[in-house]
Amino acid sequence: MIPGELKRTIILQGMGVSPGIAIGTAHLIRRVDAPISRYQIEDKSLVGEEIRRFRKAIKDSENQLLEIKRKFKDQEGLETLYILDVHIMILRDKMLIRQTIQNIEEKGVNAEWALRMTLDKYREVFSKVDDEYLRERVSDVEYAGQRILRNLAGVHHETVSGIGENAIIIARDLSPADTMQMKVEKIQGFATDMGGKTSHTAIVARAYEIPAVVGLEKVTTEARTGDIVIIDGTAGAVIVNPDPEIVRRYEEKKRHYATIEDSLLKYARKPAVTADKHRVLIGANIEFTEEIASAVQHGTDGIGLYRTEFIYINRDRLPTEEEHFCTYKKVVESKGIRWATIRTFDLGGDKFISDPRLAAEMNPVMGLRAIRFCLREVDLFKVQLRAILRASAYGRTRVLFPMISGMEELLETKRIFNEVKKELKRDGIPYGKDVKIGIMMEVPSAALIAEDLAREVDFFSIGTNDLIQYTLAIDRVNERVSYLYEPLHPAVLKLIRHMVEAGHKAGIEVAMCGEMAGEPVYTMVLLGLGLDELSMNALVIPRIKKIIRAVTMTECRKLVDQVMGFNTASEIEFFVRESMRRKFTDDFEIAD
Ligand code: PEP
Ligand code: MG
């Protein structure tokens, strides 16, 4: 790479075979297949020599595997040793040996070519097998065969060494011998071009609970050793060279994932209804369309927040209307969701963008970002709105405007939105007739005039990440003041209560899509405050549902009444944590 060159973020979709999130540094394992030459053994007296060469290569291969097994037998899991045994059995397979020798004798070809013919025959036979597990065992035959071929070619070295800490192993495919030689403790994740659910990489990854995505087709060409890589083994996605903002989001997801136990997944399929029959809607926050399937699996009712600015990563030019449209259509059409909330660009601030129109600013989070930027760059905004409206013809769509700080901004935004609708109508382009308009409630000024804003929209979605930042004057990404970032600060709670009441008075739904909505310890408080929808990182949904189903609205409201009696954030935090711990003994730690 040229020094100073910006590395492009690349997102790849494969098959998630071992769940979880890993963030680490790529370590590429390049396995070069042994070269296969083809020549005729013209001199019949040399056929015997060729067969001996083949037998020796088999013996050498077997000895190498036995050596690896011996070296690692105390360190590794049984599963891997077992697969190594399978490879040794393949090397001893009479059919494989006999068929190859027959090829040498009858076709007069060299050992490499004779073996290749045998391996191809195996591949053909295996490909016809119905059973997926058995079908994939052809890769074991191939590994064993490659080892023999390497020995025939005189290439002996094992390929895996020098793996650093926090490594994400990237390979075309991994053989058991490869994984056996890796220090598993150092490995954070696996990403391979090839493979399926029962491939060796998948089995090993699951056995060691290491997130893995296989079948990525081109991860070895897209990633280089040293690149930062995120593996989302749950969604089956791999992100190479993520933007710091994406890393931040995935660190958050990782934290949530760590708290999820399998036993909670049974709550995924149950509705979020309190013990006294109050229904709360559950949304998922997504950044990529690839996450939708996992959100549905974790029990979401709908997409509560699609952060469309993530479309921008990977690009040095703006997406076309068609590109926007295809993405949004995919989202709204997704199976298993009842609605999709598409938030218009929230660019600027801490959000990546190389667009020169977003010049560097002294205080970017309070600068030309989100709706302010869109109202300045109306043409760009209209392209996105047209695409959202066109996609709305294919599924229930809600459009959400970020960072609204006052009435003028909202009215101007609505004016542009209606203008786009009219243009579509004029051009005979279909769009959904019932697209709901909502605004992010994340600026204190908007919270304070919630009554007025509520009359102009169909729903509110409270963005606590920014709301807390602006209310408490705490930079949300500055570690040095993070101790002051207090979701239960009385000022924040009062603003939330005010927005919910104003929204309900106007007859609209009030959602919350900031991180606070996905913090289990706050769930009872949020129910007591009257939120209609909680939208969160999908991985945490089962845990939140478990809490909702175990409580009554009466006790949640009582908790809020008690909480509102305190005047410091730390008292409230302590009280809420203690209450949650008493009610859910195993799920919460003792408050300090
Ligand atoms: C928020 O501010 O709470 C929010 C959900 O939006 P973002 O994190 O994208 O700013
Ligand atoms: Mg925000």
Estimate to the nearest angstrom the gap between the alpha carbon of 65 and the chain centroid: 36
Is 513 labeled as catalytic in the residue annotation? yes
Say if residues 528 and 556 touch (Cβ distance below 8 Å).
yes
Q: Residue 142's pLDDT is what?
A: 85
Options 200, 256, 298, 489, the catalytic residue? 200
Give the domain extent around 96: 44-153
The answer to whether position 342 is within a domain reads yes
Cβ of 304 below 6 Å from ligand 1: no
Residues 335 and 398 both lie in one domain: yes
Give me ligand 1 centre to Cα 147, in Å.
Answer: 52
Is 200 labeled as catalytic in the residue annotation? yes
Cβ of 346 below 6 Å from ligand 1: yes
Residue 22 phi/psi, 5° resolution? -130, 140
Give me ligand 1 centre to Cα 464, in Å.
Answer: 7
Options 27, 87, 513, 556, the catalytic residue? 513
Cβ of 193 below 6 Å from ligand 1: no
Which atom of ligand 1 is closest in space to residue 514's alpha carbon?
Answer: 3
Cβ of 463 below 6 Å from ligand 1: yes
Cβ of 466 below 6 Å from ligand 1: yes
Cβ of 140 below 6 Å from ligand 1: no
The answer to whether position 53 is within a domain reads yes
Residue that finishes a domain, picked among 153, 179, 206: 153
For ligand 1, atom 4, name the residue with the nearest CA.
463
Helices of type H across 394-457: 407-426, 444-448, 450-454
The answer to whether position 485 is within a domain reads no
For ligand 1, atom 1, name the residue with the nearest CA.
463
By most ligand atoms within 8 Å of CB, the mutation choice from 288, 466, 535 for ligand 1 is 466
Looking at the structure of the chain, the number of domains it has is: 3
Q: Residue 511 CA: which ligand is closest?
A: 1
Residues 241 and 385 both lie in one domain: no
Residues 235 and 137 both lie in one domain: no
By most ligand atoms within 8 Å of CB, the mutation choice from 309, 442, 471, 496 for ligand 1 is 442
- CB atoms under 10 Å from CB of 425, counted, come to 12
Structure tokens that stand for 377 in this block: 């760059």
Cβ of 461 below 6 Å from ligand 1: no
Nearest to 429 by CA among 396, 377, 395, 388: 388
Q: Residue 504's pLDDT is what?
A: 98
Residues 381 and 351 both lie in one domain: yes
Residues 389 and 309 both lie in one domain: yes
CATH of residue 186's domain is 3.50.30.10
The answer to whether position 589 is within a domain reads no
Give me ligand 1 centre to Cα 307, in Å.
Answer: 9
Residues 401 and 523 both lie in one domain: yes
Q: Residue 249 CA: which ligand is closest?
A: 1
Give me ligand 1 centre to Cα 465, in Å.
Answer: 5
By most ligand atoms within 8 Å of CB, the mutation choice from 344, 350, 440, 477 for ligand 1 is 440
The answer to whether position 470 is within a domain reads no
Cβ of 307 below 6 Å from ligand 1: yes
Cβ of 464 below 6 Å from ligand 1: yes
CATH of residue 410's domain is 3.20.20.60
Residue that finishes a domain, picked among 153, 186, 217: 153
Residues 537 and 572 both lie in one domain: yes
Residues 129 and 69 both lie in one domain: yes
Give me ligand 2 centre to Cα 307, in Å.
Answer: 10
Residue that finishes a domain, picked among 124, 153, 182: 153
CATH of residue 115's domain is 1.10.274.10
Residues 315 and 427 both lie in one domain: yes
What pTM, to 2 d.p., does this model score?
0.70
Cβ of 150 below 6 Å from ligand 1: no
The answer to whether position 458 is within a domain reads no
For ligand 1, atom 3, name the residue with the nearest CA.
463
Give me ligand 2 centre to Cα 563, in Å.
Answer: 26
Residues 166 and 295 both lie in one domain: no
Q: Where is 197: in which H helix or E strand?
A: none
Which atom of ligand 1 is closest in space to residue 515's alpha carbon?
Answer: 3
For ligand 1, atom 8, name the residue with the nearest CA.
465
Q: Residue 475: helix, strand or coil by DSSP?
A: coil
Cβ of 513 below 6 Å from ligand 1: yes
Say if residues 176 and 80 touch (Cβ distance below 8 Å).
yes
The DSSP secondary structure of 443-467, one letter per residue, reads SHHHHHTHHHHHTT-SEEEE-HHHH
Residues 312 and 433 both lie in one domain: yes
For ligand 1, atom 6, name the residue with the nearest CA.
463
Per-residue pLDDT in tens (0 to 9) along the chain, 592 residues? 444 456 788 999 998 888 889 999 999 987 666 678 889 988 888 999 999 999 999 999 998 888 877 766 665 455 556 777 888 889 999 999 999 999 999 999 999 999 999 999 988 888 888 777 777 778 788 888 988 998 888 876 555 667 788 899 999 888 766 776 676 678 899 999 987 766 767 777 776 778 999 989 999 999 999 999 999 998 889 999 998 889 998 998 888 777 666 678 889 999 999 999 999 999 999 988 888 988 999 999 999 999 998 787 656 677 899 999 999 999 999 999 999 999 999 887 555 555 666 667 777 788 888 999 999 999 999 999 999 999 999 999 999 999 999 999 999 999 999 999 999 999 999 999 999 999 999 999 999 999 999 999 999 999 999 999 999 998 877 767 878 889 999 999 999 999 999 999 999 999 999 989 999 999 999 999 999 999 998 888 999 999 999 999 999 999 999 999 999 999 999 999 999 999 998 777 655 5
Say if residues 525 and 555 touch (Cβ distance below 8 Å).
no
What CA–CA distance (Å, rounded) separates 397 from 319?
Answer: 20
Residues 310 and 178 both lie in one domain: no
- The amino acid occupying position 63 is N
Laid out side by side, the sheet with 10-13 consists of 10-13, 237-240, 228-232, 21-29, 167-171, 187-192, 212-214, 15-18
β pairing state of 10-13 and 212-214:
unpaired
The answer to whether position 402 is within a domain reads yes
By most ligand atoms within 8 Å of CB, the mutation choice from 253, 307, 310 for ligand 1 is 307
The answer to whether position 263 is within a domain reads no
